[in-house]
Every structure is written in structure tokens, then in C-alpha cells.
């Protein structure tokens, strides 16, 4: 089982109406870690979510949705605080633009003393997005990663500067995590934001030198690349009609973890042992999965049968 850690919220999509003084709002359950946990289950992989979940109506709905999807809810922390709402608009390319209403909200509040023990069934831990940098959950996740030594640990920075505008804060947290992480998935946009004065290749090589075994770099419609010592692989993005790209990166992440699970490579040693041709198949699989999500509105991640 993978334990996915981080935020759970509602994305609220705003659309104009014929009346100039009105908007239509549509709320869709999301948050990068929430999406990854759901995506894993839809791909047939056991998954649990560790996050703070509000007792308000939105939080109850999130809990119900997780249970319906088959996500293990035993790692959720009940919190008397509101659910985060992310206001989402789409730009001309279908890319999402976020504005978060989340200060003091439930998914930011789990403390170190609320960390559950990790059972033997937890083979991997995944974390990412703004939970890396907002307190107290940022310190909580750092402690969790330190306790998870020996398991496969994956990271998706998923930078959200409208939640935490300090690039230094993001860099400091990521730098602390990289030596304990075996797999990093990042977008080219993440790297441009984080390290505007460095080439993407320089950043990737630094992460590999710090102990990460595999780095995956997604480039939207230009596909994705995989890096490890001495190896660079690439995969093209399938030709599709894009509805929007909300949840595409989360789908890619879930597909990578699901593929490793299916191959029995969901461990540090298993990842290390994969040959280049196997890594190429993993990369192609993840690109196909992400493309399916891009054909749909919002984070509607694919089921395993859709990839067969």
C-alpha cells in the first residue's frame, strides 16, 4: 500500500454566465495528494491518505468520496477547522490558475504527535504540493519521511506560490527532503519557478547526486523525460483534444507508482533494479494516463481498464 500525504480540498471552478453580474460555480474534490490517492485506487493499487479532514460538510463529502473510491481512511485526522477551497479559472490553453482560501484550514493542521504508526503493509510514501511548506503539517511530513526510511519515498513539489510565495521556503523544504527520496516527479514549470537561474538539467543532476534514484520531468504537451545516473529517456505526449490539464500531473504520478506496484518494484531496491526498457514502459504508461485526464473536465483520473 502507498500512504499518500498532503492536502484534500475542493477546487471551485468559476464560469461566466450570460448575465454579466453572475458566475456559475462548480466544486470538485481535489488537492494533489487527494488526487494521487484516488488515482492509485482507480488503477487498482491499495492506497491510504494522511491529511487533516474537516468535520464540516465539505470535509464529510471528501471522506465519503475517499471511502467510495476505496482509499483507506484509517490515516485521516479529524479537525475542527474549515475545508480548504481553491478557486480555479482556466487560461486560454486550458491550464488552471489557482487562488486558495486555506489559511487555518483542516488539511494544514496535522501535528507530529498525530502521526500514525506505519504498518508493514505501507510499502511506499508519497508527498507533495503546499503541504510541504505550510505549518504544522510541513514539519509533520518531514518527521514522517524520516520514520519511513527503508520504504519507497516519492515527491512531487507541485509549487503553489499563491499559498506560500517564498521561493526560499520551498527550496529549503525540498532540499531537506531530497536526500531521503528515491523518486521525484516535477514539471518543467516547477523547475522554472524554483530555480530560474539554473538549467533544468543542472537541477536534475544535483538531485541525483544528493541520492535520488529517478527524476521524472513532465513538459505538458511536449511529453516527459526520465533521468537516472547515466540514463535519459523520453516519451511523447499522445495526440489528444485537451479539455483542461487539471489533475494531469497527479495522474502521471499515480500511474508511475501504480506501474511500480504492478511490477513488484515498489521499493528502493526494486526501483534501483529496473532496466532502461522497463523504465521506458513506465514513462509511456504514465504519459498515456495523464493524456486521458486532459480530455476531461477537472481531475477525473482514469481507471485501469482505460489503459488496457
Q: What is the mean pLDDT of the chain?
A: 94
pLDDT band at 112 (very low <50, low <70, confident <90, very high): very high
Over residues 39-48, the mean pLDDT reads 98
| Residue 89 pLDDT > 80 | no
Instruction: List, for residues 50-84, the tens digit of each pLDDT value.
Output: 999 999 999 999 999 999 999 999 999 999 999 99
**H/E/C letters for each residue in the chain?**
CEEEECCCEEEEEEEECCCCCCEEEEEEEECHHHHHHHHHHHCCCCEEEECEEECCHHHHHHHHHHHHHCCECCCCEEECCCCCEEEEEECCCCCEEEEEECCCCHHHCCCHHHCCCCCCCCCEEEEEHHHHCCCCHHHHHHHHHHHCCCCEEEEECCCCCCCCCCHHHHHHHHHHHHHHCCEEEEEHHHHHHHCCCCCHHHHHHHHHHCCCCEEEEECHHHCEEEEECCEEEEECCCCCCCCCCCCHHHHHHHHHHHHHHHCCCCCHHHHHHCCHHHHHHHHHHHHHHHHHHHCCCCCCCCCHHHHC
- Residue 94 pLDDT > 70: no
pLDDT of residue 212: 97
Give 168-207 pLDDT, tens digit per residue.
Answer: 999 999 999 999 999 999 999 999 999 999 999 999 999 9
The model's pLDDT over 252-265, given as tens digits with 9 standing for 90+, comes to 999 999 999 999 99
Q: What is the pLDDT of residue 262?
A: 97
Instruction: Give residue 16's pLDDT.
Output: 75
What mean pLDDT is predicted for residues 20-35?
90
Has residue 18 got a pLDDT over 80? no
pLDDT of residue 11: 87
pLDDT of residue 246: 85
Question: Looking at residue 98, what is its pLDDT?
Answer: 79
CATH architecture for residues 2-6+31-83+102-303: 3-Layer(aba) Sandwich (3.40)
Amino acid at each position: 500500500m502507498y500512504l499518500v500525504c498532503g492536502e484534500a480540498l475542493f477546487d471551485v471552478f468559476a464560469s461566466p454566465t450570460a448575465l454579466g453580474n453572475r458566475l456559475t460555480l462548480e466544486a470538485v474534490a481535489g488537492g494533489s495528494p487527494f488526487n494521487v490517492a484516488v488515482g492509485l485506487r482507480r488503477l487498482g493499487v491499495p492506497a491510504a491518505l494522511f491529511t487533516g479532514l474537516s468535520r464540516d460538510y465539505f470535509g464529510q463529502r471528501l471522506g465519503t468520496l475517499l471511502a467510495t473510491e476505496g482509499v483507506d481512511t484509517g490515516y485521516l485526522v479529524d479537525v475542527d477547522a474549515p475545508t480548504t477551497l481553491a478557486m480555479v479559472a482556466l487560461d486560454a490553453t486550458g491550464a488552471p490558475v489557482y487562488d486558495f482560501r486555506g489559511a487555518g484550514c483542516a488539511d494544514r493542521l496535522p501535528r507530529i504527535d498525530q502521526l500514525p504508526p506505519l504498518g508493514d503493509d505501507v510499502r511506499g510514501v508519497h508527498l507533495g504540493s503546499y503541504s510541504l511548506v505550510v505549518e504544522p503539517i510541513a514539519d509533520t511530513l518531514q518527521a514522517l519521511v524520516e520514520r519511513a526510511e527503508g520504504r519507497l519515498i516519492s515527491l512531487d513539489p507541485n509549487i503553489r506560490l499563491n499559498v506560500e510565495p517564498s521561493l526560499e521556503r520551498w527550496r529549503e523544504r525540498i532540499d531537506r527532503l531530497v536526500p531521503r527520496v528515491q523518486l521525484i516527479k516535477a514539471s518543467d514549470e516547477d523547475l522554472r519557478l524554483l530555480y530560474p537561474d539554473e538549467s533544468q538539467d543542472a537541477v536534475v543532476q544535483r538531485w541525483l547526486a544528493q541520492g535520488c534514484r529517478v527524476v521524472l520531468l513532465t513538459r505538458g504537451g511536449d511529453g516527459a523525460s526520465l533521468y537516472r545516473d547515466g540514463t535519459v529517456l523520453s516519451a511523447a505526449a499522445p495526440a489528444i483534444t485537451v479539455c483542461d490539464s487539471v489533475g494531469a500531473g497527479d495522474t502521471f504520478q499515480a500511474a508511475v507508482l501504480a506501474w511500480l506496484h504492478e511490477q513488484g518494484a515498489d521499493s528502493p531496491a526494486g526501483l534501483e533494479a529496473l532496466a532502461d526498457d522497463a523504465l521506458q514502459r513506465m514513462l509511456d504508461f504514465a504519459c498515456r494516463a495523464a493524456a486521458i485526464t486532459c480530455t476531461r473536465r477537472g481531475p477525473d483520473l482514469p481507471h485501469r481498464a482505460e489503459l488496457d
